[in-house]
Chain A
Amino acid sequence: MTIAVEFKNLNKTYGAVKACQDISFKIKRGDIHALVGENGAGKSTLMNLLGGLEQADRGEILVHEKAYHPTSAKEAFACRIGFIHQHFLLADNLTVLQHLILNWPGQKLFSLFSNSKLLKKVETFVKKFNWTIDLHAKINQLSVGEQQCVEIIKALLANPDIIIFDEPTAVLAPQEITHFLNFLKQLKSEGKTIILISHKLTEIQEVADQLTILRHGRCILTSETSKLSLLEIAENMIGQKLVYAKDEFQAIEKKQNLIFIKKISLPLRRNEILGVAGIEGHGQGLLIQLILTEAKANSVSFADIPEDRLKFALFEGMSLRDHMILRHPQLSQYGFIRKKHATAVTQKIVEDWDVRPRNIDLLAGQFSGGNQQKFVIGRELFHHPELVLAAHPTRGVDLGAQQMIHAALIKQRADGKAVVLVSSDLDEVLKLSDQYVILYKLKLFGPFKKQQLSETEIGQFMTGSHPHQKKYQLGALT
């Protein structure tokens, strides 16, 4: 049995959307097999089918050359398929041990927990993979990397044969990524089959034996990783030749200060994109709040593009026009809404930013992620604010919209605005920033110019392990 998983003409449709269309390819046993594609290409749906979370409409899956029709996640477990999700299934208020007990197979419902076997097994993992984890810590006390560890241990408890990783390195610092990739190689050496969903092409080149490219629900090609160049992979992902936009970055010499944030000795300057790099959860939220407070205190107009638009920027049950009215008091007079004016203004934004469909009465929740983000940015830039605060602005957004958003930020910079770009995507930060700072455990380090640090050094700052860490400290958020 050299084929671990085979997909045969797999189809899955959600309403009008064909998430998977006639997908067919094979995954070899003992391989690290990467699954690559844009948002919405069908990667996660395909894995949900494999993991028993969804059922296919047509087609079949063969695991170890036997027919496989899981109707639940539990069945997938039973077939020794482990799934480590991108969005962790962890409860903040409960402890690591409680999560492991939940996932420990074979416990009776009403008998006393017997943890000895469980603890022994955990210990073997911890020794083997060189981890340190406090079993009695609550999830919200752990770092993101440690939380991922918990997810991995959870999955390994059931002794899986095939393990699916969904975007595992999205939240890790460079060092942690290296550690993780080594971990994958270790798993492979134990004979496990690994399916890696990722859009980090360089990492895939490093560990993956084979890769499959999905686009719009179809399987485009499957090949040995070594046989394709990065460019070829990327082009197959989006289906057209990539035109790399000429760097529209003109170096601008004289820069005016817009705001100076005393607490952290950070100046925000016009004509500049200031990047804020750092692992998620090291104080990005606090930093943004600090900047917003300073802006309000100094009566500086601002654009606030939050990292979680559904949580902080949108009201799913309210129309686009309502959003404009709420955000911009000038669309009302003496507390009364100027409906005609608001309508005209909203309509223009929707057209300028290519928000589809162009219906301002539709509720925000009815738009796709990319369109929602475009609207949010259009709304925030409406009043030509002096300061643009963008947090993970291209998260969950397809490549076309991404390019539009990046271009918009660059334009704001050219127009004399001060732009602050907070992102855990290091590539994005490095690509767009004039200079950048690094956040680590609520402290700021830097500022660094574009080519000043190597990726290793950046990684060291992000994990507090750089030899000159203290020297570059700008200030602390608390």
Chain B
Amino acid sequence: MMESVFILLLLSTFRLSLPLILASIGGYFSEKSGVAQIGLEAFLLVGAFSAATATYLSHSLLVGYMAAVLASLFFAQIFCLLVLKLKANSIVVGTGLNLLAIGLIPLMSKSIFDSTGSTPALIDINTTALLPIIVLAVVVLGSLYVSEKTLWGLQIKFAGEKQEALLAVGVSPAIRQWQAISFGALITGLGGAILSTYLASAYSPLMSAGRGYIALAAIIFAGWDLRKTILISLFFGFCEAIQIQAQSNSLIAAQIPAEFIQMTPYLMTLLALLFFRTKQQAPKELK
């Protein structure tokens, strides 16, 4: 009995942490290059909605994933234009981006499906873990390689720590930031795609449920270190898994109200911020 609960928890953790890991990797690139990123929620939602819609219309999961990538890339361009070119405050623009996603998606949903916000269920689509696992592996290995072993990754770090050093070698920090933000956004968008096509079988309103912010908390906690970020996201996924197990367990559900169980991820994040001081400093040029 305990064994099956344990296995269930493990599998559950894996599933639930997928969007978180991807979102936090996506946010990592932006933050590491010196641009604060609280718009992860927007990229998740936009990715989730586009994937669900495209998959439904095309009956192909691959097309859905590609749609997620394109949509989040598009949103990222809006962000980059405002923050990098027009020098707007990244937190203000991130907030605006979240609002834009929250407002635009129901409108699109009404136009396309005449629904109040959800997309129709994806019944006949292959929803095994195959594609998500491949995506996860590629993203994790790819981002570790790019960030730690390439010159581009090093330049991203310099963009976030000392822009003048980058200028002195003839590289524009703004261009690297643009690239980092865009790259990060498409990864986050993929996380959204997994959210609506693997964790669920459709898009429902606000289904990201604050994961974008939890991902940001993971990055900050990890001291802006990529490996640690991935591990901490996994841990937050674990918390969410426990929360869902607890809800379905009738004994526990009787003792603790549903709402309190639901707020576990947020509470855990807060407690984590409370008990663990972030040892490493933020990138010096983070704005």
Do A and B form a real pair?
Answer: yes
Q: Which residues of the partner chain A approach B150 to less than 8 Å between Cβ atoms? A: 109-113
In the complex the two chains form, is B149's CB within 8 Å of A109's CB?
Answer: no
Q: Which residues of the partner chain A approach B158 to less than 8 Å between Cβ atoms? A: 91, 94, 102
In the complex the two chains form, is B154's CB within 8 Å of A110's CB?
Answer: no
Partner of B151, one of A89, A91, A92, A101: A101
If A91-B158, A93-B284 touch, whether A107 touches B165 (CB-CB below 8 Å) is: no
Q: Is A323 an interface residue (CB 8 A)?
A: no
In the complex the two chains form, is B283's CB within 8 Å of A93's CB?
Answer: yes
Partner of B165, one of A74, A91, A110: A91
A379–chain B nearest beta-carbon distance, Å: 30
Q: Is A99 an interface residue (CB 8 A)?
A: yes
Q: Is A430 an interface residue (CB 8 A)?
A: no
Q: Is B157 an interface residue (CB 8 A)?
A: yes
Q: Which residues of the partner chain B approach A74 to less than 8 Å between Cβ atoms? A: 169-170
Q: Is B155 an interface residue (CB 8 A)?
A: yes
A24–chain B nearest beta-carbon distance, Å: 28
Q: Is A90 an interface residue (CB 8 A)?
A: yes
If A109-B151, A110-B146 touch, whether A103 touches B161 (CB-CB below 8 Å) is: no
In the complex the two chains form, is A94's CB within 8 Å of B170's CB?
Answer: no
In the complex the two chains form, is B168's CB within 8 Å of A98's CB?
Answer: no
**What 1/0 mask marks residues of chain A from 92 to 123 whose CB sits below 8 Å from any chain B CB?**
11100011011100011111110000000000
**What 1/0 mask marks residues of chain A from 21 to 63 whose CB sits below 8 Å from any chain B CB?**
0000000000000000000000000000000000000000000
Q: Is A72 an interface residue (CB 8 A)?
A: yes
Q: Is A73 an interface residue (CB 8 A)?
A: yes
Partner of A72, one of B161, B166, B170, B284: B170
Q: Which residues of the partner chain A approach B151 to less than 8 Å between Cβ atoms? A: 101-102, 107-111, 113
If A73-B170, A102-B165, A103-B169 touch, whether A92 touches B284 (CB-CB below 8 Å) is: yes
Q: Is B113 an interface residue (CB 8 A)?
A: no
- The distance in angstroms between the C-alpha atoms of A110 and B165, with both chains bound, is 19
Q: Which residues of the partner chain B approach A113 to less than 8 Å between Cβ atoms? A: 149-151
Q: Is B162 an interface residue (CB 8 A)?
A: yes
Q: Which residues of the partner chain A approach B284 to less than 8 Å between Cβ atoms? A: 91-93
CB within 8 Å of B: which of A56-87? 72-75, 77
Q: Interface residues of A: mostly helix, strand, loop or mixed?
A: loop
In the complex the two chains form, is A112's CB within 8 Å of B162's CB?
Answer: no
A457–chain B nearest beta-carbon distance, Å: 37
Q: Is B152 an interface residue (CB 8 A)?
A: yes
In the complex the two chains form, is A102's CB within 8 Å of B161's CB?
Answer: no
Q: Which residues of the partner chain B approach A90 to less than 8 Å between Cβ atoms? A: 162, 165
If A94-B158, A109-B151 touch, whether A102 touches B146 (CB-CB below 8 Å) is: no
CB within 8 Å of B: which of A205-253? none
Q: Which of B157, B165, B284 has the most CB of A within 10 A?
A: B165
Q: Which residues of the partner chain A approach B114 to less than 8 Å between Cβ atoms? A: none
**What 1/0 mask marks residues of chain B from 128 to 168 whose CB sits below 8 Å from any chain A CB?**
00000000000000000010011110110110011011111
- The distance in angstroms between the C-alpha atoms of A99 and B283, with both chains bound, is 16
- Closest residue on chain A to residue B145 by CB atoms: A112
Q: Is B249 an interface residue (CB 8 A)?
A: no
21 A-B contacts, Cβ less than 8 Å apart? A74-B170, A77-B170, A89-B165, A89-B168, A91-B157, A91-B165, A92-B161, A92-B284, A93-B161, A93-B281, A94-B161, A98-B157, A101-B151, A102-B151, A102-B155, A102-B158, A102-B169, A109-B150, A112-B149, A112-B150, A113-B150
Chain B residues in the interface with A (C-beta under 8 A): 146, 149-152, 154-155, 157-158, 161-162, 164-170, 280-281, 283-284
